Chain A
Amino acid sequence: MRLNDEEQAMLAGEMGEPKRWAIDHQIKVGRMFDAEDLVPVSQSHMMADPESVGDAGVSFLEKLADQGARVAIPMITDPRGVDLNYYRPLGQTEEMADLDRRTIEACSKMGILMTNTCTNYQTIMSPVLGDHVAFGDTGVVIYSNSVCGARSNYEGGPSALAAGLTGRTPRYGLHLDEMRRATRRFVVRQQPKGLTDWGVLGALVGKLAGSYWEVPVIEGLEVVPTSDDLKHMGAAMASFGSIPLFHLVGITPESPTLAAVGGEKLKAEEITAADLNALRSGFGGRGDKVDVVVFAAPQLSLVEMQQVADLCAGQTLKTPMLVCTSPQVYADAVRMKLVETIEASGGKVLEGTCFYNQYAREIGVANGWKRLLSNSTKIVNILGGYGYQPALASMEDCVASAIAGEIV
């Protein structure tokens, strides 16, 4: 890999051990993907929830912080594993909270901004067309690439940290023009209505395309999605297929036409109502008991918070309901009394966490939760491996089910 003078100095350890580790890590990864050099990035976003970082990872972060590591560019974080204002009632332990406290201290010492959000493109600083970034959360990466036209690979915790320290990332994958061209072409015949429909469409395309190296282009959409629609679509596509970029013809910035992304040469694959229903029917049905209702994955926007609050207003929930949002939205939702409305019905709003990365297995066991209902196609996909029997429904039906105590 070609390195400039500054990068050579980093590798030689002249700029401290943390930067030496960081660039060495980037070279190892870049070599596996045949990167020729490093590209400067404007922001970095790291997943560092304690469940995935683990004790070994937290010790690693502390060691770097003690060695004087300091980020070179704005660097922000994904949701935490524990809402430190509300964890004991969920059955989370003091050990889990301590691991989170240690992570926060080590990261803060390095100058990392603890934004704790997987919706930073809605809340912090949205990247722009052509912007090279090093983003972590898969939902963030696919949204930033597809909707904003920014350029990022999936940067897992270690490599996002490395990018924060060096201010660059290996130039491979989606930093290259040729890797952003469509490889699969899908034609939609049924128009999505609402967040869950967008999620199901994303899930199906993700499942069909099914690899990090595929770029789906979707045509046939007659409705223009909102930011929240695309948030759910992208998160589901990334979750089901590990897909980091999609194009919507006439909607997303790199695909004003099918030809602009090379899609006209690809075989058109139809997505029918039957395909969508088959995917949906894999996740639960009416009349089933429900143990917990969850709104998360990704965290809720202020608009979604208002929608949930409106559905809860004046109601009493029979089933526990958890709503996960970012600290930025949480503050606004408190000020606008949306949190108060949701909690008056018996729901609980969690700040800076997301359900699936807050020890979902352990809190499921602690609370006897098996049957989980959500409007997030991403979360119902993940939680099968965590001992849950997840079911999928619209936001309206989720709240109605929490009121009824069974899936309506």
Chain B
Amino acid sequence: MIEFKCHKGIGSKVEGEALVADDNFSARYDLDRIKGVFSRPQHKLAGESYRDKILVLNTAKGGVATAWMLHEMKSRNIVPKAILFNAANTILAQGAALAELTMCDRFEDGDVTSLLKTGDQVVVDPDAGLVTVLNRD
């Protein structure tokens, strides 16, 4: 078990499987939100399903639409369980607050896209500012 400290975030404590890339994120630019996959060919997670994953990405990009979109994705249950960033932006935080989706950023131990690996079993506790990797020592 490994623990990583981050800034206090938004949402409730969740557990899930990590899906990691050192890429940026926009729900509008990158996702097919009906199929639940990354659809932008240039994205490092192109073709991957994000449903119920703990998404781990570098930062937010693009416009403001993601704030509503996370809420809409949550209503259909085709949504990541949590999103972790090196640096979130305002839009992603606002979207997480409305959708009651878990989101944290700013990790003390460095780049979260290197700290976590795809397939890791991860617990995210936003109130404590703590991310625990269960499958590694």
Please list the residues of chain A having a beta carbon within 8 angstroms of any beta carbon in chain B: 25, 28-29, 31-33, 47-49, 51-57, 60, 136-138, 153-159, 173, 210-213, 238-242, 357, 381-382, 384-385, 387
Q: Is the interface of B mostly helix, strand, loop or mixed?
A: mixed
Residues 40-55 of chain B, each 1 if its beta carbon lies under 8 Å from chain A, else 0? 1111000000000000
Please tell me which one of the listed residues B39, B40, B64, B98 contacts residue A25 in the complex, with CB atoms under 8 A apart.
B98
| A52 and B31 form a contact (CB under 8 A) | no
Instruction: For chain B, residues 28 to 82, give those with C-beta under 8 angstroms from any C-beta of chain A.
Output: 28-31, 39-43, 59-69, 71-72, 74-76
User: Across the two chains, which residue of chain B brings its CB closest to A34?
Assistant: B7
A157 contacts across to B, CB distance below 8 A: 64-65, 67-68
Please tell me which one of the listed residues A60, A137, A211, A241 contacts residue B64 in the complex, with CB atoms under 8 A apart.
A137
| B61 and A241 form a contact (CB under 8 A) | yes
Please tell me which one of the listed residues A57, A154, A238 contacts residue B72 in the complex, with CB atoms under 8 A apart.
A57
| A156 and B68 form a contact (CB under 8 A) | yes
Q: A357 vs B66: C-alpha distance in the bound complex, in angstroms?
A: 12
User: Across the two chains, which residue of chain B brings its CB closest to A52?
Assistant: B65
Q: A138 vs B65: C-alpha distance in the bound complex, in angstroms?
A: 10
| A32 and B69 form a contact (CB under 8 A) | no
Q: A6 vs B46: C-alpha distance in the bound complex, in angstroms?
A: 48
B31 contacts across to A, CB distance below 8 A: 385
Chain A CB within 8 A of B83 CB? no
Please tell me which one of the listed residues A55, A210, A238 contacts residue B63 in the complex, with CB atoms under 8 A apart.
A238
B89 contacts across to A, CB distance below 8 A: 154, 211-213, 242
Q: A57 vs B88: C-alpha distance in the bound complex, in angstroms?
A: 22
A154 contacts across to B, CB distance below 8 A: 64, 89-91
Chain A CB within 8 A of B14 CB? no
Please tell me which one of the listed residues A158, A212, A240, A381 contacts residue B98 in the complex, with CB atoms under 8 A apart.
A158
Q: A28 vs B65: C-alpha distance in the bound complex, in angstroms?
A: 19
Please list the residues of chain B having a beta carbon within 8 angstroms of any beta carbon in chain A: 7-10, 24, 28-31, 39-43, 59-69, 71-72, 74-76, 87-91, 93-95, 97-98, 103
| A382 and B88 form a contact (CB under 8 A) | no
| A56 and B72 form a contact (CB under 8 A) | yes
Q: A93 vs B9: C-alpha distance in the bound complex, in angstroms?
A: 39
Please tell me which one of the listed residues A32, A51, A357, A381 contacts residue B8 in the complex, with CB atoms under 8 A apart.
A32
- Known A-B contacts: A29-B97, A47-B63. Give 5 more (CB < 8 A): A32-B7, A54-B68, A154-B91, A157-B64, A385-B39
Q: A211 vs B94: C-alpha distance in the bound complex, in angstroms?
A: 17
Please tell me which one of the listed residues B9, B24, B60, B65 contacts residue A32 in the complex, with CB atoms under 8 A apart.
B9
| B93 and A47 form a contact (CB under 8 A) | no
| A53 and B72 form a contact (CB under 8 A) | yes
| A32 and B10 form a contact (CB under 8 A) | yes
| A153 and B90 form a contact (CB under 8 A) | yes
User: Across the two chains, which residue of chain B brings its CB closest to A241?
Assistant: B61
* Chain A: minimal CB distance from B100 (Å): 10
- CB pairs A–B below 8 angstroms (22 shown): A25-B94, A29-B90, A31-B8, A32-B8, A48-B68, A52-B68, A54-B68, A55-B72, A56-B74, A137-B64, A154-B64, A154-B91, A155-B64, A156-B90, A158-B97, A159-B67, A159-B90, A242-B59, A242-B62, A357-B65, A382-B28, A385-B39
